[in-house]
Structure 1
Amino acid sequence: MSELVTGEAVALELRPARLPSRALAVLLDLVVAVAVYVAVTIALVASTSSLDGAAQTALTIASFVLVLVGGPIAVETLSHGRSLGKMACGLRVVRDDGGPIRFRHALVRGLIGVIEILMTFGVIACIASLVSARGRRLGDVFAGTLVVRERVPFSSAGFVAPPPPWLAGRFSGLDLSAVPDDLWLAVRQYLARTGQLDPRVGWAMAERLAADVAARTGAPVPRDVPPPAYLAAVLQERQAREARRAFGGTPAADGAPWSVPGAPVAPAAAVQPPAPFVPPTAPPPPPSPAVRPEVPRDAASEGRPGTGFVPPA
């Protein structure tokens, strides 16, 4: 696996092609090119039989250059690094930064390929490919290119399991700005390959990574949270924050990591947690006796019990 960094600072994980697959692709390309060259030569000999020897030699050299040198250059330029042999083997020529090649890359590869492939029968190309850490021949080194594998076997090792539900939103208050990207990459790679590790080795790696993350966040790992679950929960929190920044979402009312604007959200009254029960410290005071309202009386009803009725004025 080779990690390439593009101009936008995006890390790409590419699989460089090794010598057997590259040799098979070159062999298929040479078979096709030689077959075309033989056909073109026969056609030229038949059509230029009336010319002298010098003219026939010049046409033979021109056909050799056009078919065996110009042909591969044109094919790689038009197909963006995929010749017939590379398509059959699932290979492609890309730049060092992972981008598609252009005419100048194909031209340098083709011109140097005449020396290290055609004139030396591939000996120099094989030696350079074996010495190079990424299997590059001299044409790739001078052109700034790399041959990579396009058809990679599917693997479920990149799947990161979510954290336990009881950890949802627990680390929403952590300051994750001081955690570097290489540490996040190490955490993600560990979580993606935790099923392939020895249990003791995986637990030791989780403890070390959790300690590194906790040292950058300034908050220790909770004692009741296992290190793998802590790493998964913190990684999910970081992904939720990146999603909120990218899509403009806000934290949901039900404690979900994030929500997109316009998406239905449950009412706040339906999802608010109940208030904790607090037992009373003292019995409530007895109710005060009711006070009877004063009944207005007139001068004529002095000394008699009031009826509560006031005649109109």
Structure 2
Amino acid sequence: MTQAGASVIQSDGMTADGIGRNGAPRAGGVAGTALDVSDEQVVVGEGVALDVRPAGFLLRAVSSLIDAVVTIVIAIAVLWVVLWAIANAVDNGARIENAALIAIVLATQIAVLVFVPCLIETITRGKSVGRYIMRLRIVRDDGGAAGFRHALIRALVGFFEFWSTSGGIAMITGLVNARSKRLGDIIAGTYAQNEAAPRLSPNLGPLPPGLERWATIADVARMPDRSARRMRDYLIQAPRLEPGARLHAAGTIAREIKDSVHPIPDVDADTFLRAVAAVRRDREWAAIELRRARLARVEPILEQLPHGFPQRG
């Protein structure tokens, strides 16, 4: 690792002394400081961090709105059937007290607003109509499947969280929580997982010129998945970023991955990220092609019948 290369990615594409490449003093006057934007990890009981994607606030809000509309429609339909049955009973001479009528209506509402969502979520293993449409699923904090206990707690708390406050508590807790959890999720120990497959990323471009020799000896295979994902997201969004934001983001991510790359080339942070991404992509593609070629060579041996056994099909 060269001293110049190490100083390039120390902080936001600036040198270690706080002076930019154009000789201008660095804004803020503090060298080497960066905002920690690492996301919350999902760690199972064995201490293994899972690479999962919690659902964002907007997805959860749309899912909850769909579920609320479906629940209201079901509640109106069930309540209409109950009242129709009561009216028929009264017409046939039955006598129903007002207290009993109120109890029946309240029991019907609780059944529709609490027990029906709990039952559906338990049977579908964390799904609902809204979550099915938005491709979400409720899981435990350790990534395991949620059960009846979790669904019951979420439904009971959701009765007050959604219907008593018109969703205000759920919105506040979802906005301030790292995984967009609502109050019921916090108490039950669950969160919403995004099951939608990520879209294919566009071509990140060729290897930056002048780094061909470095690419033949660079070690870039030890990078954590989260760091590689952040680097890919930056390279996709970089053309739409303002110059200042792009400089800061490139420096932050470059500092995060520099310990996984050796040697570090003497380039700016943005070029460094594009070079690392290009080398990783080319080597992964070469490995895929090599595996495909090896399988093609042994495919006749794997598919042929032993000892000249005749082909009967």
Q: TM-score, normalised by structure 2?
A: 0.56
**Structure 2 equivalent of residue 32 of structure 1:** 73
Matched ranges for 1:1-313 at <5 A: 5=42, 7=44, 9-18=49-58, 21=62, 24-46=65-87, 48-49=89-90, 50=94, 52-53=96-97, 59-87=104-132, 90=134, 92-95=136-139, 96-97=141-142, 100-147=145-192, 159-163=203-207, 171-176=215-220, 183-197=227-241, 217-221=261-265, 227=272, 230-236=275-281, 239=284, 243=287, 260-263=293-296
Can you list the C-alpha shifts for 1:127-149, whole angstroms capped at 9, x where unaligned?
43454454432112112233466
**Structure 2 equivalent of residue 285 of structure 1:** none
**Structure 1 equivalent of residue 18 of structure 2:** none
Question: What amino acid maps onto 1:66 in structure 2?
Answer: A
**Cα 1:78/1:202, change in 2 over 3 Å:** same
Paired residues of 1:206 and 1:231 also in contact (CA < 8 A): no
User: Unpaired runs of 5+ in structure 2?
Assistant: 1-37, 298-313
**Cα 1:148/1:175, change in 2 over 3 Å:** closer
Q: Distance in 2 between matches of 1:192 and 1:13?
A: 18
Can you list the C-alpha shifts for 1:263-285, whole angstroms capped at 9, x where unaligned?
36xxxxxxxxxxxxxxxxxxxxx
Can you list the C-alpha shifts for 1:59-80, whole angstroms capped at 9, x where unaligned?
4454333323211212223334
Q: Distance in 2 between matches of 1:236 and 1:77?
A: 42
**Cα 1:188/1:16, change in 2 over 3 Å:** closer
How big is the shift at 1:45?
0.9
**What do you get for the CA RMSD once the two structures are aligned?**
4.7
Identity among equivalent positions (%) equals 28
SS at match of 2:265: coil
Q: Distance in 2 between matches of 1:211 and 1:83?
A: 42
Larger relative contact order (CA 8 Å, sep ≥ 6): 2
**Cα 1:198/1:114, change in 2 over 3 Å:** closer
Question: What amino acid maps onto 2:51 in structure 1?
Answer: A
How big is the shift at 1:261?
1.4
**Cα 1:191/1:20, change in 2 over 3 Å:** closer
Say which one has the larger Rg.
Answer: 1
**Cα 1:118/1:163, change in 2 over 3 Å:** same
**Cα 1:40/1:144, change in 2 over 3 Å:** farther
Question: What amino acid maps onto 1:12 in structure 2?
Answer: V
Q: Distance in 2 between matches of 1:211 and 1:112?
A: 43
How big is the shift at 1:15?
3.7
Higher helix share: 2
**Cα 1:128/1:40, change in 2 over 3 Å:** farther
SS at match of 1:94: strand
Q: Distance in 1 between matches of 2:181 and 2:114?
A: 20
How big is the shift at 1:39?
2.4
**Cα 1:62/1:132, change in 2 over 3 Å:** same
Q: TM-score, normalised by structure 1?
A: 0.56
Moved more, 194-203 or 36-45: 194-203
**Structure 2 equivalent of residue 290 of structure 1:** none
Paired residues of 1:161 and 1:191 also in contact (CA < 8 A): no
